[in-house]
Structure 1
């Protein structure tokens, strides 16, 4: 079974990489971009055979390692 985790900075947390991307896009002529949030995507291959078990495992992984839950939020998709 596969899972995809999307990790993003929480709303209100300064995102310097996102701001750098927004600025670079403006410099390239894409003036209509008013905000950018940058994050990461992690894809996992799991041995679990049930979606509920897989989702619980991945959420535990996020809480312990994959996301800094103080400043980041995450979304789990079981594929």
Structure 2
């Protein structure tokens, strides 16, 4: 698509890094909540890998993230 995604890593201290995620999308982008939910799942997966623990990408968690994002977006006034 015509969007852009970037990640910036900043070391906070030994064994602690901040990941800054930025996504730029056109105003007419469809499927925004699904797109953001997918990125949220991937960021959680990265965290799990860094913390050396298991993480399962499942449909229920994906749906939960979509609902949270849609609620948040519906509360915003442009």
TM-score (structure 2 length as normaliser)? 0.29
Q: Which has the larger radius of gyration?
A: 1
Higher relative contact order (CA 8 A, sep 6+): 1
Give the TM-score taking structure 1 as reference length: 0.29
